[in-house]
Amino acid sequence: MLMTSLLMVHNVHENNDFQVAHYDNIIVHFDLKGAPPKVAYLKQVLELIKHNGATGILIEWEDTFPFTGIFEDIRASNGYTMAEVKEMLSHAQKLELDIIPLVQTFGHLEWILKVAKFRKYRQSDMYPQVICLADEEAVGLVTEAIRQVSDVHKQFGVKYFHVGADEAFEYGNCEKDIVFISQQKKNDKERLGAQHLAKIAKYVRSLLPTTRVLAWYDMLKTFSQEVITEHKLGDLIEPVVWDYSETVQQQNGQLTTFLLLSFFFPSFPSSSFSIYTYRRTFVKRRI
């Protein structure tokens, strides 16, 4: 099964006429876990989306990527070989599609944490979604996944690298997180989450100095201005707004969030509802 969605870089003109809205970029998100399609089929899909106006692809490999080392024995049995990955990326490059790798770094880490040998790194033993953020070994798993994916993708150009970071519903509860939080001035867990994302973004930049780091917005919007400033998240990360509205025009309830993100994150290109600017935002929706 091939799961796809759209990421659209949206511009709205000053005259508040949504009929003249346009998309500078249309990015198709490929979530390849579960039942990854054959490369020959994917190449046809890439040609199809290019023909229909796509400007790039967001690829979420998870365990379908041909990891080596510590992850080698947890790769999906139906995953891709390195030759297949390079064939796919090379085809996308020939089609002049921007290629954006996505490696989950906060929540949605089931592909790692469901495995027995990595169970000890869970935020909660019952749920394999989030790593224990204050555990350096746990974070090391995430950075190793980033390193291996970036080593391959950089051969084909990496303008953006997406670090996921959405829907981390539970954190701050593992033993090491509790100790970290207790040492903070206000005894809150915001700093733990912000510090983790800052660390991840810096790591990506250490590997890919000219690459812009993207992250889903929903955890970022829970952080205070003080914490965002303290960890320089506004300089390190560009928030990506995701929403399941049929059109971006239906996101009226998100306007305040968009404006706040625009204020706290200088690199965030405002919202599709900031009709008084020409700046842009990434918005995800289903197709």
Task: Write the pLDDT tens digit of every residue in 113-147.
Answer: 999 999 999 999 999 999 999 999 999 999 999 99
What is the pLDDT, as a whole number, of residue 261? 60
- Say yes or no to pLDDT of 88 above 50: yes
Banded pLDDT at 270 (limits 50, 70, 90) = very low
State how far the Cα of 226 lies from the Cα of 194, in Å rounded to an integer: 11
What is the pLDDT, as a whole number, of residue 244? 60
What is the pLDDT, as a whole number, of residue 248? 53
Q: Report CA Rg, the chain.
A: 19
- Say yes or no to pLDDT of 266 above 80: no
Identity of the amino acid at 54: A
Among 9-13, 60-64, 213-217, the range with the most confident prediction by mean pLDDT is 60-64
What does the pLDDT look like over 139-174, one tens digit per residue? 999 999 999 999 999 999 999 999 998 888 889 999
Banded pLDDT at 84 (limits 50, 70, 90) = very high
* pLDDT top residue among 138 and 287: 138
What is the pLDDT, as a whole number, of residue 265? 59
Catalytic residue from among 47, 110, 144, 167? 167
State how far the Cα of 117 lies from the Cα of 122, in Å rounded to an integer: 11
Residue listed under structure tokens 């800052």: 198
State how far the Cα of 177 lies from the Cα of 164, in Å rounded to an integer: 20
What is the pLDDT, as a whole number, of residue 256? 52
CB count in 10 Å sphere of residue 213: 20
Which segments within the chain are labelled E, that is strand? 3-11, 22-31, 56-60, 98-102, 122-124, 127-131, 160-162, 212-216, 238-242, 281-286
Determine contact, residues 20/13, Cβ cutoff 8 Å. yes
For 3-286, give the CATH class: alpha beta
Domain residues of the chain, as ranges?
A: 3-286
Banded pLDDT at 71 (limits 50, 70, 90) = very high
State how far the Cα of 200 lies from the Cα of 204, in Å rounded to an integer: 6
What is the pLDDT, as a whole number, of residue 43? 97
> Is 62 noted as a catalytic residue in this protein?
no
What is the pLDDT, as a whole number, of residue 79? 95
Q: Could you give the angle at which helices 136-153 and 190-207 cross, rounded to 10 degrees?
A: 30
